[in-house]
């Protein structure tokens, strides 16, 4: 992998639209996407003919009950998986039939994941966890970047802490810092507040919303309708189908107006 010293230049040319002058979200296109799992004689349809188009710089919440296909959708957008039918394209690049090797190469420069259970390395400090994210993305200045993003998420005084010495909210902020350290344009979060109390959850959502305002494409999966009200756009799933796609029902709310 080619490494360049200038942070803006570490992105591969193929990852950025030719007209882009600075990192600015990205474009996600799903056309008539279905995902079926076959287990023995039974076929489970996790996603059923889903079409979704996300432009750069959006804060999208994918809303739906358990089992509606949210994680499956996120994994397809994150190029962790390929569809059974239909087309998945990121920044115009068709990844529907990509090999695992191509998927890996694309993923490490394009998407970052945040999980409900944080998924930090228990034996690494906050700083090392974040530095790992930067390393994987091929950042030459990984340690410097790790310090900077930990500052940005308000953990400048916790860099030498191990995950078990941090609260749930702090661990999730480390996970967000790890995602930001990659500089990848798409941030995918699967139920990121599921393990957190209300106040801490709101702080995490504010942090994610700020990333969208700073130019990332942020997709947050949730089963909580109230959370979806801070989004620019809510994509509602039911039994693997998009049943609604638009601004939040009842209007958009500020994070400090949320109650759940
Ligand atoms: P959600 O994240 O909304 O809870 P998922 O995307 O995880 O939903 O799952 C949607 C449906 O697909 C569920 O019925 C689930 O059981 C099924 N499913 C998900 N992943 C697999 C898999 N790897 N193998 C078989 N079935 C799966
Ligand atoms: Mg899920």
Alpha carbon nearest to ligand 1 atom 23, residue: 37
- How remote is the CA of residue 223 from the centroid of ligand 2, in Å? 9
Last residue of a domain, one of 151, 183, 215: 183
CATH of the domain at 85: 3.40.50.300
* Shared domain check, 195 and 70: yes
* Shared domain check, 89 and 122: no
- How remote is the CA of residue 46 from the centroid of ligand 1, in Å? 6
Predicted TM-score (pTM) of this structure:
0.87
> Is residue 64 included in any domain, yes or no?
yes
Alpha carbon nearest to ligand 1 atom 26, residue: 37
> Is residue 6 included in any domain, yes or no?
no
- What is the band of 25 on the pLDDT scale with cuts at 50, 70, 90? low
Alpha carbon nearest to ligand 1 atom 6, residue: 69
Using a 6 Å cutoff on CB, does residue 69 contact ligand 1?
A: yes
Quickly tell me which residue has 């599921």 as its tokens.
Answer: 194
Alpha carbon nearest to ligand 1 atom 12, residue: 46
- What is the band of 139 on the pLDDT scale with cuts at 50, 70, 90? confident
* Shared domain check, 191 and 105: yes
Percentage of the chain surpassing pLDDT 90?
A: 68
Q: Which ligand is nearest to the CA of 34?
A: 1
The burial of 45, by beta-carbon neighbours within 10 Å (0-12 exposed, 13-18 middle, 19 or more buried), is given as middle
Last residue of a domain, one of 183, 200, 231: 183
Last residue of a domain, one of 155, 183, 211: 183
pLDDT over 80 (residue 186): yes
* Shared domain check, 127 and 72: no
Using a 6 Å cutoff on CB, does residue 66 contact ligand 1?
A: yes
* Shared domain check, 86 and 204: yes
Alpha carbon nearest to ligand 1 atom 5, residue: 69
Using a 6 Å cutoff on CB, does residue 42 contact ligand 1?
A: no
User: Domain range holding 76?
Assistant: 25-110+186-260
The number of the ligand 1 atom at minimal distance from the alpha carbon of 221 is: 2
> Is residue 9 included in any domain, yes or no?
no
* Shared domain check, 171 and 87: no
- How remote is the CA of residue 237 from the centroid of ligand 1, in Å? 13
Closest Cα to residue 230, out of 56, 28, 70, 60?
60
pLDDT, one tens digit per residue, over 157-174 is 999 999 999 999 999 999
Over range 98-113, report the average pLDDT.
92
Over range 39-45, report the average pLDDT.
94
Q: How many domains does the chain have?
A: 2
* Shared domain check, 200 and 252: yes
* Shared domain check, 195 and 128: no
* Shared domain check, 121 and 178: yes
* Shared domain check, 77 and 66: yes
* Shared domain check, 168 and 67: no
> Is residue 177 included in any domain, yes or no?
yes
Distance CA 258, CA 135 (A): 36
């Amino acid at each position: 992998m080619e490494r360049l010293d200038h942070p803006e230049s570490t992105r591969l040319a193929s990852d950025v639209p030719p007209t882009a002058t600075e990192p600015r979200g990205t474009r996600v296109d799903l056309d008539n996407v279905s995902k079926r799992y076959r287990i023995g004689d039974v076929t489970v349809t996790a996603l059923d003919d889903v079409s979704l188009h996300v432009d750069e710089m959006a804060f999208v919440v994918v809303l739906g009950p358990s089992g509606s296909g949210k994680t499956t959708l996120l994994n397809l957008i994150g190029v962790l998986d390929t569809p059974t039918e239909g087309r998945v394209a990121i920044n115009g690049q068709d990844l529907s039939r990509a090999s695992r090797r191509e998927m890996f190469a694309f993923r490490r420069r394009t998407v970052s994941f945040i999980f409900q259970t944080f998924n930090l390395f228990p034996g690494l400090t906050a700083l090392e966890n974040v530095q790992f994210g930067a390393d994987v993305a091929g950042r030459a200045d990984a340690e410097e970047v790790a310090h900077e993003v930990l500052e940005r998420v308000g953990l400048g005084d916790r860099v030498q802490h191990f995950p078990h010495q941090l609260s749930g909210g702090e661990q999730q902020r480390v996970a967000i810092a790890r995602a930001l350290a990659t500089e990848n344009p798409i941030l995918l979060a699967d139920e990121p507040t599921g393990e957190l109390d209300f106040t801490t959850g709101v702080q995490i959502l504010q942090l994610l919303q700020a990333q969208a305002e700073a130019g990332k494409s942020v997709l947050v999966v949730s089963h909580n309708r109230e959370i979806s009200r801070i989004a620019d756009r809510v994509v509602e799933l039911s039994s693997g189908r998009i049943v609604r796609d638009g601004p939040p029902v009842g209007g958009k709310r500020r994070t400090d107006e949320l109650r759940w």
